[in-house]
Amino acid sequence: MISFFNKLGNSWIAKGIFFLLGLSMMAFWGLGGISNTSTSDGTVIKVGSNKVSMQDLSRAFDTERNKMAKISGGYMTPKRAIQAGLLDQVVQQLALRELNNQIQDELGLMASDEAVRRYIEQNPVFKDSLGKFDANLFYGYLTGMNMTQAEFAHQMRMELANQHLARSVMVATPRNKDLMEKVALAKKEKREIVSVLLTPDNMPVTTPTDEELKDYYEAYQEEFGIPEYRQVRVVSFNAADFSNDYDKMVEVSHRLEDLLGAGQTLAEAAVALKLNTAQSLIVDASGKDKSGKEISEKIKPLLPEIFSLSEGEATSLLEIENGFMVAGLEKVIPAGYKKFTEVKGDVAALWRQENQKEKLNQVAEEILTSVQQGRGWKNHTPATQIISHSDVGNFPKTIGAILLTQKVGAENVQKFSTDQGIVLAYTKRILPSKETPTEAELQEAVKDWSMDLMGAVQQSYAKKYPIDIRTSAIQKAFSIYENQDE
């Protein structure tokens, strides 16, 4: 088996490994066929001669969904799991699993029953407080995951074989000193980046007419909506209001409930019982008054019930510290929209922001084209800075990572959107590192190299064992969850 990888290490893969850096582990997806038809035997994924049925996919999906639910601490519906991308993830996992199974079968990689047993017994999940294997924990796990012992053992057998395959690749990775140094030095190189930042604030726009603003207001009226408000009267009282006579307070609370139950409004009942500690306020469902100020935290627990009442009704009594609180709905103020004259300034500001963004994209595209065609930055003076893998300068990390792999030359200028605006940038030149890599840096290079070699092995075998995913059949089967309640 090792001799196979030694041969592989001396093949075109090893010689071209420097160019495979950054290869995705899933690069082989483009090499397989994607079918939109189902099969009579229920196969939905086929990798070489290996098949995955709809039942297998459904079971794997439910298993992963249950795992996600346990992590999040609650039930996860199939619909929500699909929306979160779990179905796509499971399909990819099953396809990769079957590809690895094909590789393992061809290379004769197989975990023995004894190895699987030891692997399970050494799993910390199945150990008791003394660190010993607990069969009850093991069987409880199988029940929770809706798996049989045979299914779990098969899964572990495949996992062990995958680990063996990965270790074999790591062991067989050729220790070519020159290539190792090239990979390590590539991480230490620096790049001279030419860039310009375009911000919306610097984009000149014309002053809108009243007619343009009115049209904008009509088109985006939802931006200027007024939520539904409710005018409520809140009555609270405690034992201190009755000379610390707790029994008297409780008696009054019962009489208040009786009066409200007989149809009196809270205002009427409060007068009858001489409860003067009343407060009137106007509030929306989020707990804010018309000025946007948060109401008292003591009142917020009543909000859900307040917004379920009809005018004249009252909430149930809420126990508070040493007393009670109740709210009565006096008036519903319907949702609506602010008048144009009230929000004209806000409309103008939004109109300006939108037009500045449109202008920003237009100018960015004009500059991008000009730089690509060798005509320069078109009325903008770019900045130059040196960046490295350890310091991406003033760029966000995601942009810096792209610039560190970008081809050299103005024709390769790229556009990036940021919180500040739009960045246009290209690599002017690469400044190679002349430092001698440390042993740690060389080992890191070998690690990355091995991962790329593993990806190359999978890519190579994917040509031999085409991946065929029956997308239409999968979509049709799982479409039953589209109208499921959350």
**Does the pLDDT at position 10 exceed 50?**
no
Average pLDDT over residues 67-87: 80
- Is the pLDDT at 111 greater than 80? The verdict is no
The least confident of 103-112, 258-267, 319-328 is: 103-112
Per-residue pLDDT, averaged over 138-151, amounts to 80
Q: What is the mean pLDDT of residues 276-281?
A: 77
CATH H-level, domain 2-186+438-481: superfamily? Porin chaperone SurA, peptide-binding domain (1.10.4030.10)
Q: Is residue 413 within 8 Å of residue 193, measured between CB atoms?
A: no
CA distance 460 to 28: 8
For the cut 60, the answer to whether the pLDDT of residue 316 exceeds it is: yes
Residue 454, token pair as written in the block:
């593993």
* Residues 6 or more apart in contact with residue 19 via CB below 8 angstroms: none
- pLDDT number for residue 277: 61
* Highest mean pLDDT pick, 37-41, 82-86, 288-292, 447-451: 288-292
Q: Determine which helix (DSSP H) or strand (DSSP E) holds 279, and give its type and residue range.
A: strand 278-284
Asked if 482 and 83 touch (Cβ cutoff 8 Å), the reply is no
Helix (H) or strand (E) holding 280: strand 278-284
* Per-residue confidence band for 194, with pLDDT thresholds at 50, 70 and 90: very high
**Residue 266: partners with Cβ closer than 8 Å, 6 or more residues away:** 233, 235, 260, 314, 326, 327, 328
Please tell me the predicted confidence (pLDDT) of residue 60: 87
CA distance 186 to 427: 15
Q: Is the pLDDT of residue 12 over 90?
A: no
Contact 185, 437 (CB under 8 A): yes
- What is the mean predicted confidence (pLDDT) over 364-381? 92
Query: What is the C-alpha separation between 260 and 315, in angstroms, rounded?
Result: 9
Task: Write out the CATH class of domain 228-334.
Answer: alpha beta
CATH, domain 190-208+340-431, list 2.60.120, 3.10.50, 3.40.50, 3.40.630: 3.10.50
Task: Specify the DSSP element, H or E, that contains 153.
Answer: helix 149-172
Confidence class for position 19, pLDDT limits 50, 70, 90: very low
pLDDT in tens, 405-436: 888 999 999 999 888 899 999 999 988 887 78
Same fold, 190-208+340-431 and 228-334: yes
Instruction: Kindly tell me the number of DSSP H helices and DSSP E strands found in the chain.
Output: 17, 14
Question: 148, 47, 49: which is closest to 93 by C-alpha?
Answer: 47
Lowest mean pLDDT, pick from 18-22, 238-242, 457-461: 18-22
- What is the domain partition of the chain in residue ranges? 2-186+438-481, 190-208+340-431, 228-334
Contact 392, 401 (CB under 8 A): yes
